[in-house]
Amino acid sequence: MATAAAAVQVMAVKNNTSTAAASFLTWGTPGSDVLSSTTGLIFLPTLPTTVLILVASFLFFLTHYRSSDYYNYTSSKKKNKSSSSLPPGPAGWPLVGNLPEIFINRPAFRWILSAMKEMNANIACFRLGNVHVVPVTCPEIAREFLKKNDAAFATRPLTMGTEYSSRGYLSIAVAPWGDQWKKMRRVVASEIVSPARLRWLHDKRTEEADNLLRYVYNHCCNQLVDDNVVDVREVVRQYSGNVIRKLMFNKRYFGNGRQDGGPGKEEVEHVDALFTVLSLLYAFCVSDYMPCLRWLDLNGHERTMKKAIQVVNKYHDKIIEERIKEWRNGLKKEAEDLLDVLISLKDCQGNPLLTTEEIKAQTADLIYAAVDNPSNAVEWAMAEMLNEPEILEKAVEEIDRVVGRERLVQESDMPQLNYVKACAREAFRLHPIAPFNLPHVATCDTTVAGYFIPKGSHVLLSRTGLGRNPKVWDDPLKFKPERHMGSAAEVELVETELRFISFSTGRRGCMGAPLGTAMTVMLLARLIQGFTWTLPKGASAVDLSESHNDLFLAKALFAQAKPRLPAHLYTTTAK
């Protein structure tokens, strides 16, 4: 009976995807807008004409030769090689698999998760070109992938986005398994994110936490600002940008900055470019699964990525190149920031351990990793807490009890701020930064949860599927920090059992989780300690709608802030 039900569910998805693909093909039917707009091209021997003819011919082939049994046929072929079958999934077209559906139903992650919901599947398989993409929404299966079989899924796919962001796969986060990844992992583990290094960078983080309060306070004191309304999204994103720029380059501003502590135009442009790059690292780009189509840039991703990378490089490269010259000319001899650390590393012969390109790639990698996760979690936490004032009040009471109002909260207070951390942890669970974690690629044929996972498969842990799973979480769409206040002496932001993902775990996990934790908790704690937050006048509640194309708040959070501490605590000089 279960097998029959599963077959019915798969056929339902197949029918839906067939309908979607059929609607895609209507662009070439008589009377369609697209056909009318391109009639003038049909008889012209131009590149667009050639492309149109090739695409039309290809779609004709797909329409007439797609086999309803193709998916089952490929599954049976795999089954002959293994005692297990592929996870369930929608029928694929010849050659391209589910790429037409992915191309039509944007954003792709919503279509994938919707299809899984229709199939009532905790694990599924979508064929994109020749790649099996395997999303997972169940913690038990996720643990089987990243704990029991971690070694078999320790590499990354090669994509257009990661090629650009890592300067050809030179940095740790997206490099495939191999010598380059091992080299950069040793560097990052021992020199960048070690406990000793985090202590060394403590004062820089504190300086930016002080500047955060100074900026919001100055904003509130500005008579030109109506009702002390603060753009919380700008504040949290620029704080994250400030922290990582300070740790990396020992500077907050690329330009002259602002006297009130806010971002200049350079910093706004920099952070915007960082978020653009992050959005395109693994964006289901058609050419990532069919490289022969990359020259067409069908999604427009490559053009957008190039522009964003140019902005990032514009700000990073000059600083890095000048700093390398200082070290190699003997003008600089002591490390003051993480860039100095990377440049000063030596191999066993006393030569520079890292090339200039590796330094540039790893610098960008560290900045990408730090800027989005803390800011997104805190914006969502603030939005949820404004709609649930009793939660906000409870967090403020905890800070007042532990810290008081005569000094600012510090990182040393974090072990005692369990409710504040529970609020941050709940934001990570309910409102993750991305729909999926970074892909894990199977290095060999493997069986997981009774299913055959072919070599080369891309395994995606669904952050929303795990964090909002009703079989794991009671009332999963409700913001309830209390669910994390268990018997443990201290609340941790990292979830090792993969019931949700705050910072990735496993062999390819996030090595910067301690830094991310410190940034997140300090950002949230400083904001709610320093100010009384209320809804803007006329607003009855924060609109918690999620953006359609990603998981951010659909509308940036604006809230009214009123200072609640002695004035001298806000005027700390921040260089």
Residue 128 vs residues 77, 289, 451, 504: alpha-carbon distances, Å: 17, 6, 18, 25
Residue 161 CA neighbour count, 13 Å, CB half: 27
Sequential DSSP letters for 281-345: TTS--HHHH-GGGGGG-TTSHHHHHHHHHHHHHHHHHHHHHHHHHHHHTTS--S--SHHHHHHH-
* Sequence-separated (6 or more) residues with CB below 8 Å from residue 47: none
Phi, psi of 126, rounded to the nearest 5 degrees: -115, 125
- pLDDT at 537 (0 to 100): 92
- pLDDT at 1 (0 to 100): 45
- pLDDT at 6 (0 to 100): 47
Tokens 């693909």 -> residue: 21
Residue type, 536: P
Residue type, 74: T
- pLDDT at 65 (0 to 100): 43
- pLDDT at 55 (0 to 100): 57
pLDDT, one tens digit per residue, over 141-197 is: 999 999 999 999 999 999 999 999 999 999 999 999 999 999 999 999 999 999 999
- pLDDT at 84 (0 to 100): 81
Provide the annotated binding site for heme. 510
β-pair type (458-461, 131-136):
parallel
Cα dihedral 76/77/82/86 (nearest 10): -60
- pLDDT at 12 (0 to 100): 46
Which of these, 275, 270, 247, lies nearest to 257 by C-alpha position?
270
Tokens representing residue 263 in the block: 């971002």
Which of these, 373, 388, 462, lies nearest to 425 by C-alpha position?
373
Q: Which long-range contacts (CB under 8 A, 24 or more apart) does 538-545 make?
A: 541/386, 541/387, 542/383, 542/384, 542/386, 542/387, 544/383, 544/384, 544/387
**Residue 255 contacts residue 245 (beta carbons within 8 Å):** no
What is the distance of C-alpha 94 from the center of its chain?
Answer: 32
- pLDDT at 24 (0 to 100): 37
- pLDDT at 507 (0 to 100): 87
Low-confidence ranges of the chain (pLDDT < 50): 1-45, 49-50, 52-54, 57, 60, 63-82, 573-575
Greatest Cα-to-Cα distance within the chain, rounded to the nearest angstrom: 78
Which of these, 87, 73, 144, lies nearest to 115 by C-alpha position?
87
Strands (E) located in 129-226: 131-136
Strands (E) located in 105-224: 126-128, 131-136
pLDDT, one tens digit per residue, over 310-352 is: 999 999 999 999 999 999 999 999 999 999 999 999 999 999 9
Domains parsed from the chain with CATH numbers: 2-129 (no CATH), 181-569 (1.10.630.10)
136 forms beta bridges with: 123, 461
**Residue 495 contacts residue 471 (beta carbons within 8 Å):** no
Is residue 504 classed as helix, strand or coil in its secondary structure? coil
Tokens 């708040």 -> residue: 553
**Residue 339 contacts residue 319 (beta carbons within 8 Å):** yes
128 forms beta bridges with: 97, 131
Provide the annotated binding site. 510
